[in-house]
Amino acid sequence: MTATAAPPSTQLDVRPTAGYIGAEILGVDLSQPLAPEVVAEIRAVLLQWKVVFFRDQHISQAQHLEFARQFGAPTPAHPTLPALFPEFPEILLLDNKKMADGGEKKTAPMIESRWHTDVTFVTNPPMASILRGVVVPPYGGDTQWINLVVAYERLSKPIQDMIDGLHAVHPNQLPVKRGDLPPALFKQFLGSGIRSVHPVVRVHPETGEKSLFVNPNFTSHIVELSRQEGRRVLEMLYEHMADAEFSTRFRWQPGSIAFWDNRATAHLVPTDIPPGAHRSMQRITLAGDIPVGPDGSTSYALEGEDAFG
């Protein structure tokens, strides 16, 4: 694989969770400000393993936000959805009961779970996401991530050469029928319409690695190809990137935190939450840069906001 940041050499106990992605970090207390060298180490581990996990971090919303600020600038909670915490407009609530009408339904609306990278419909998708487990079901509800750098590197050279110069449209869409979401929530998510064009392959601004930058959730079509051709290419890439070899799976516990590089990963929302069980998570995203392709092309807005954060 392409060379990445040098592994840290210090005091943190880093335990990889899978062959190509994911590492648990022990020996750090996220309720307290971190020393600069510890921040640098965590960033190095993140760049190497793409997603890092922390256990037993029973922190407040304020501490969650302060932890995030040590790695970048927190964005508003979401480009279109309302922030539900007036004192912390940077925190997005992801709650399976709150997503139902008035919080009264026993199950969440039927949003199809697809691999996705967060908020790619804006021109500068978040650099990273930091998700905190607040209410965790007794079983089920795991999240999975895939390493899109390794996925790109495992493609044949002819396919790499072809997609290096392609660009795709990313609209703010949801894989759900209108009637499956509360009407107000459905309308809020769509907003006034946001669409951006991104390179199909992006160059990581910190490591120089190439990674796939399409996802089944927020990518509609490839600009340079006919809809039929583009659909076949995207189907091939989606099937390839979902290979279990490129993935890791995280079992949530109360106080668990997942921190992932949104520029080099996609993740999958769980569908195996037990009926009637409550799962409530809180997410902060960090402002990202405008993606750049191998040919030097940059992302641009087609409709709506042209920057986020």
Structural domain boundaries of the chain? 13-303
Intervals of the chain under pLDDT 50 = 2-8, 101-109, 177-179
User: What local confidence, expressed as pLDDT, does residue 162 receive?
Assistant: 98
User: What's the chain's average pLDDT?
Assistant: 90
Question: What is the torsional sign of CA 84, 89, 92, 93?
Answer: negative
- pLDDT score of 106: 45
Question: Residue 186: its pLDDT value, please?
Answer: 58
Catalytic residues: 116, 118, 267, 283
User: Could you give the CA distance from residue 299 to residue 168 in angstroms, rounded to a whole number?
Assistant: 9
Q: Given this model, what pLDDT does residue 111 score?
A: 60
How far is the C-alpha of 241 from the C-alpha of 146, rounded, in Å? 7
Report pLDDT for 190: 60
Q: How far, in Å, are 51, 245, 278, 290, 293 from residue 168 at the CA level?
A: 25, 25, 36, 14, 11
With a CB cutoff of 8 Å and minimum separation 6, the contacts of 38 are 10, 11, 12, 28
DSSP for 40-103, please give it.
HHHHHHHHHHSEEEE-S----HHHHHHHHHTTS-BPPS-SSSPPS-TT-TTPEEEETTTTSGGG
Confidence (pLDDT) at 304: 84
Residue type, 215: N
Q: What pLDDT shows up at residue 10?
A: 60
> What value, to the nearest 5°, has the Cα angle with vertex 138 and ends 137 and 142?
60
Q: Confirm if 133 and 255 have CB atoms less than 8 A apart.
A: yes
Domain covering 13-303, topology:
Double-stranded beta-helix (3.60.130)
Neighbours of 28 (CB within 10 A): 16
